[in-house]
Amino acid sequence: MLLIPAIDLKDGRCVRLRQGDMNDATVFSEDPVAMARHWLALGARRLHVVDLNGARSGKPVNEPIIKKIVAAVGDEMPVQLGGGLRDLDIIERYIDDGVRYVVIGTAAVKNPGFLQDACSAFGGHVIVALDAKGGKVATDGWSKLTGHDVTDLARKFEDYGVDAVLYTDIGRDGMLTGVNLEATVELARAVKIPVLASGGIRDLTDIDKLCAVQDEGVQGAVLGRSLYEGTLDFKAALARADELSG
């Protein structure tokens, strides 16, 4: 079970949102690079970075600080990056800078051909993000709910060659109400590629639940507010996950 700390960037600072609301942001650090080094020092094997401003504007906004994060930790702790990745040239630039995985969300849903092109050009580096509420996919920083079924889209994108699906229950994200295990497992059973869980993870109980379904295809989890507010101790979570995963 891969446990992935998240750094969400808004105006160059490390923040967490509640249910994706840009107006409901809590600042946890003024120095995202130091925060990245902190997670590396605690044993993280991958880092999840989101350009929140970029997700809303559709283009990179926090690129200078992202470059610094990758330069500081990217060799030892692969970085997966999302937010505003809607152009192949931008993706190429980030990968050239050392980003290991790009996370494509809104652009994949709105323009599947773009995702297909990205998978062709950058095979082995593409994760698709499906953010859902009630089984339906949301786009544009979660501000718009589509009629697309999350499972149908995941199967379609699997055929394109994406490496994994990052599944977020947006009704739970940042709320510390517990992971939506049922929906996550349902999605993981529908595809052969790994599913990364996100949204609502609170404490070691959730880590236990996720590890119990690892064989179903839930192979990782992105951790945010629980780490920053202290309801989940990362070193303890890592030790538990390693123990349960053998």
Catalytic sites, residue numbers: 8, 131
Tokens of 210: 């996720």
Torsion sign over Cα 110, 116, 122, 126: positive
Tokens of 114: 């773009």
* Dist. CA 141–CA 172, nearest whole Å: 15
Nearby residues of 46 by Cβ (< 8 Å), 6 or more positions away: 2, 4, 77, 78, 79, 80, 100, 220
| Of 150, 122, 173, 132, the residue nearest 8 (C-alpha) | 173
Torsion sign over Cα 224, 230, 232, 237: positive
